[in-house]
Amino acid sequence: MRVARNERRLPKQIKREPFDLPLPLTQLSIARVATNCALSLLLLTNPPAAQLLGGQVARAAPNLFTPTPNPSEYQLLAAEAWKLVDRNYADRTFAGQDWFETRQKLVKKNYDSSTDVYNEISKMLETLGDKYTRFLTPAKYKAVFAVATGDVAGIGVELAAKDVDADGKPLKQPLVVISSIVDNGPADKAGLLPGDVLESADGADLRGLEPEEAAAKVRGAPGSKIRLEVTRRGAEDVPPMIITRGKVKLEAVTSSIGSIDGSKVGLVRLKQFSTETAADMKAALRGLSSGGVTSFVIDLRGNTGGYFPGGVDVARLFLPKGSLITYTVDKTGATTAYEVYEDGEYVTSPVALLVDDKTASASEVLSGALHDNKRATLIGRNTFGKAVIQTVEELQDGSAVVVTIARYETPVSRSNINGRGIEVDVPVDCPLSTIPLAKAVSQCVPRSAL
Compute the radius of gyration of the chain from its Cα atoms: 23
Residue, of 327 and 53, whose pLDDT is higher: 327
**Measuring CA to CA, which residue among 161, 152, 210 is closest to residue 186?**
152
Q: 271, 280, 372, 399: which one is catalytic?
A: 372
Whether omega before 62 lies within 30 degrees of 0, making that bond cis, reads no
Contact assessment for residue 324 and residue 267, using Cβ atoms and an 8 Å cutoff? no
Q: What is the largest CA-CA distance in the chain?
A: 77
- Check if 386 is active-site: yes
Predicted pLDDT of residue 382: 97
Percentage with pLDDT > 70 across the chain:
82
What is the DSSP secondary structure assignment for residue 337, as one 8-state letter? Answer: E
Residues 154-199: tens digit of each pLDDT: 898 888 888 777 777 888 888 899 988 888 899 999 999 988 999 9
Show the beta-strand stretches assigned E in 122-262.
Answer: 134-136, 151-154, 157-164, 170-181, 197-201, 204-205, 225-231, 241-244, 246-249, 253-260
**Whether pLDDT at 63 is above 60:** no
Q: 295, 361, 363, 399: which one is catalytic?
A: 361
Contact assessment for residue 226 and residue 155, using Cβ atoms and an 8 Å cutoff? yes
Residues 342-373: tens digit of each pLDDT: 999 999 999 999 999 999 999 999 999 999 99
Range of lowest pLDDT (97-101, 121-125, 279-283, 433-437): 433-437
Contact assessment for residue 427 and residue 378, using Cβ atoms and an 8 Å cutoff? no
**Whether pLDDT at 20 is above 60:** no
Predicted pLDDT of residue 415: 87
d(CA 27, CA 147): 18
d(CA 391, CA 386): 14
Q: 282, 331, 386, 399: which one is catalytic?
A: 386
- Check if 372 is active-site: yes
Residues 205-253: tens digit of each pLDDT: 998 888 878 888 898 888 999 999 999 988 888 999 999 999 877 778 9
- Check if 357 is active-site: no
